Structure 1
Amino acid sequence: MSAAIRAERLDAGGRATVGECPVWRAQEGALYWVDIPARRIVRLEIESARRQEWAFAEQVACFAFDAAGRVVAGMESGMFGVTLSGTHEARAVKLAAPVFPASGMRFNDGRCDRQGRLWAGTMVQDMSLASPAGALYRFDEHGALSAPVVDGLITQNGLAWSPDGRTMYLSDSHPQRRLIWAFDFDPDTGTPGARRVFADLHHYTGRPDGAAVDADGCYWTCANDAGRLLRFTPQGKLDREIALPASKPSMCAFGGSDLKTLYVTTIRPATNATEDDGYLFALNPGVQGLPEPDYAGLLPVA
């Protein structure tokens, strides 16, 4: 079950404080991700090791591209349409905003379902409060932000969909929760149905952070605080465990020309950081990933 697979540290990507939301762009041969406290989106061309970054007025937590290469991003105050230029300048326009039930909140983890609707959750940034004010929202192809679809979340994470789009995965990575749920999902209406516990990480190691699903339908989660990647079968059985050099892996995404490279962002803690914490890593886990869908709507030019 444990696999001795070497993870390569990609120094050209730079070192983040909270690296999150890796997104592979096949047409560019590039990986994008965010550094949340730095309020940046970062881009790395894998072959040339050329790095770019764009700064924003708010923290960026999650994002997706549309077919035209524009970006929809979940930030502190809402959903934004973003245009990234080649000169490190980014323009953003607010598209929608939830009514936050508490102060100090922002969007967190987000991904598109197989039909191209962007889903993103919110959280109270001060995790010591353990506030269940977070919720999961759907930003549809028409640019409409839903009411809370799933509420009572402390630290929302782990969004992913099965290959057929009929199972939605969601986790809560707060130390008091450490749960991954699976929902029956109606791909036509974008509605999650019955919820069940898919994996309880109190029985394993670490906290379930960002995730990805491979072509076999298995769910990969970053075991934050444990320096591990864990793969669960569609039946919720742990069948792979890969050790990483960094202690706090945060999110993973498949990329490369054949979607056989797994990219992993990491967090650099404020204290007791290792020399690897905060860097981007790449590894070949021996399985193929699935292309992440673009956002299906038409975003305005920011």
Structure 2
Amino acid sequence: MIVPHSTSTVETLAGRTEQGLALRQFRVGNRVGECPIWSDARLTWIDVRAPAFHALDPASGSLSTWTLPKPVGTHALCADGSILLALRDELALLDTEHGCLRTVVSPEPDRPHNRLNEGRVSPCGAWFVFGSMDDSGAGRPTGQLHAWHPQHGSRVLLDGLHIANGFAWSVDGQTFCFSDSKAGVVYRARWQPQTGTLADIVPWVTADEHAGRPDGAFIDADDNYWSAGVSAGCINVYAPTGARIRKLPLPCQAPSMVCPGPRGSVFVTSLVRPHWAPQDIRPEDGQLFQLLDVLASEPPAPVRLRLT
């Protein structure tokens, strides 16, 4: 399949948060922006409901967009330059140069009401760990965690989640963190890279509506867990002990994911809830943000998935 590609220029606004932190706002107008990744001087992310894959040069505001045939839950960068996309019911590879999209695996043929949601490349670059959620509106705990290896296929790591989210590895690569956004719980587990499996899964952090239910996340160079508080308009930062050590309010109501950017900055995607009344939607909702000078040190570049 060949997917449509377009280019545009994004308006950029400068401002500050209520705490006085310098902020850049990119007026991208997403419905459900998710999964930002900073690499090679550009930011890539997806809009779940557009559905689309985006690539932005923040310096120039130049935006490239690939329109996708199905809702998309996440993406990963591959070592050969292609993009791995978790579409509604399949993993697919996108060749951005030619616009070619091809399916590689359909992991949940027995769960037609689920859609794939969230995913990360393992520290060794061999595994793509991804999750799913009930997309019917019923809110059933039918979500799973999967690990896909290009040579060995896909396997189920965990069942019974509402919304698999918040994937991140510790600095030493031995601990995997993930959340169930609906339950408001972040879990920690021992990651076993040789087999692509999890062990010793335990609840680690609990965050309610007021604190900010945990959505997309990353772990910084000090092993702190940065979590988008999707229900509270903020980023929550948790120490390895599980204690919240920082709260960063944002101008949008529903930040969906945070990732490290250049020179101590972080990027944040956001969403617009479909049930919000027009008068309740802020101009900042659905936009992309860059908070400046908030990271003490930059994490390493994102790992790319090895396909061969």
Tell me the secondary structure at the aligned position of residue 145 of structure 1.
strand
Contact 1:115 1:296 in 2 (8 A): no
Structure 1: unaligned runs, 5 residues or longer? none
2:140 counterpart of 1:126: no
Aligned to 1:172: 180
2:33 counterpart of 1:19: yes
Counterpart of 1:90 (choices 93, 99, 102) is: 99
Aligned to 2:92: 80
2:144 counterpart of 1:135: yes
Contact 1:254 1:288 in 2 (8 A): no
Counterpart of 2:123 (choices 97, 111, 114) is: 114
Tell me the secondary structure at the aligned position of residue 226 of structure 1.
coil
Tell me the secondary structure at the aligned position of residue 154 of structure 2.
coil
2:188 counterpart of 1:182: yes
**Equivalent position amino acid for 2:192 in 1:** D
* Whole-angstrom CA distance in 1 between matches of 2:23 and 2:100: 35
CA deviations 1:169-227 (Å, max 9, x no partner) are 010111xx110000012233322110111101139612100001111111000000200
* Whole-angstrom CA distance in 1 between matches of 2:227 and 2:211: 11
* Whole-angstrom CA distance in 2 between matches of 1:239 and 1:100: 42
Aligned to 1:268: 272
**Equivalent position amino acid for 2:136 in 1:** D
CA deviations 1:144-164 (Å, max 9, x no partner) are 111x20110111100000011
Q: How far off its partner does 1:104 sit?
A: 2.4
Tell me the secondary structure at the aligned position of residue 223 of structure 2.
coil
Q: How far off its partner does 1:52 sit?
A: 0.8
Aligned to 2:261: 255
Counterpart of 1:45 (choices 54, 57, 81) is: 57
**Equivalent position amino acid for 2:116 in 1:** F
* Whole-angstrom CA distance in 2 between matches of 1:294 and 1:47: 23
State the Cα RMSD in Å: 1.7
Percent of residue pairs identical? 26
Cα–Cα, structure 1 residues 203 and 131, in superposed 2: closer, same or farther, change >3 Å?
A: closer
Contact 2:147 2:197 in 1 (8 A): no
Cα–Cα, structure 1 residues 5 and 143, in superposed 2: closer, same or farther, change >3 Å?
A: farther
Aligned to 1:294: 304
* Whole-angstrom CA distance in 2 between matches of 1:110 and 1:279: 21
Q: Aligned ranges for residues 99-110 of structure 1 at < 5 Å?
A: 99-110=108-119
Contact 1:63 1:74 in 2 (8 A): yes
2:174 counterpart of 1:160: no
CA deviations 1:9-32 (Å, max 9, x no partner) are 122xx1100000101122xx1101
Contact 1:161 1:167 in 2 (8 A): yes
Tell me the secondary structure at the aligned position of residue 202 of structure 1.
coil
**Structure showing greater relative contact order (alpha-carbon pairs closer than 8 Å, 6 or more residues apart):** 1
Structure 2: unaligned runs, 5 residues or longer? 1-17
**Equivalent position amino acid for 1:18 in 2:** V
Bigger shift: 66-75 or 92-101?
92-101
Tell me the secondary structure at the aligned position of residue 211 of structure 1.
strand
Counterpart of 2:73 (choices 35, 45, 61) is: 61
Aligned to 1:209: 215
Aligned to 1:282: 290
**Equivalent position amino acid for 1:150 in 2:** L
**Equivalent position amino acid for 2:95 in 1:** T
**Equivalent position amino acid for 2:114 in 1:** M
* Whole-angstrom CA distance in 2 between matches of 1:221 and 1:184: 20
* Whole-angstrom CA distance in 2 between matches of 1:42 and 1:225: 24
CA deviations 1:218-259 (Å, max 9, x no partner) are 100000020010011111111011000001000111122x4x
Query: TM-score with structure 2 length normalisation?
Result: 0.88
Aligned to 1:145: 154
Q: How far off its partner does 1:289 sit?
A: 3.6
**Equivalent position amino acid for 2:256 in 1:** S
* Whole-angstrom CA distance in 2 between matches of 1:90 and 1:207: 36
* Whole-angstrom CA distance in 2 between matches of 1:289 and 1:152: 35
Q: How many residues align?
A: 284
Q: How far off its partner does 1:278 sit?
A: 0.2
Q: How far off its partner does 1:269 sit?
A: 2.0
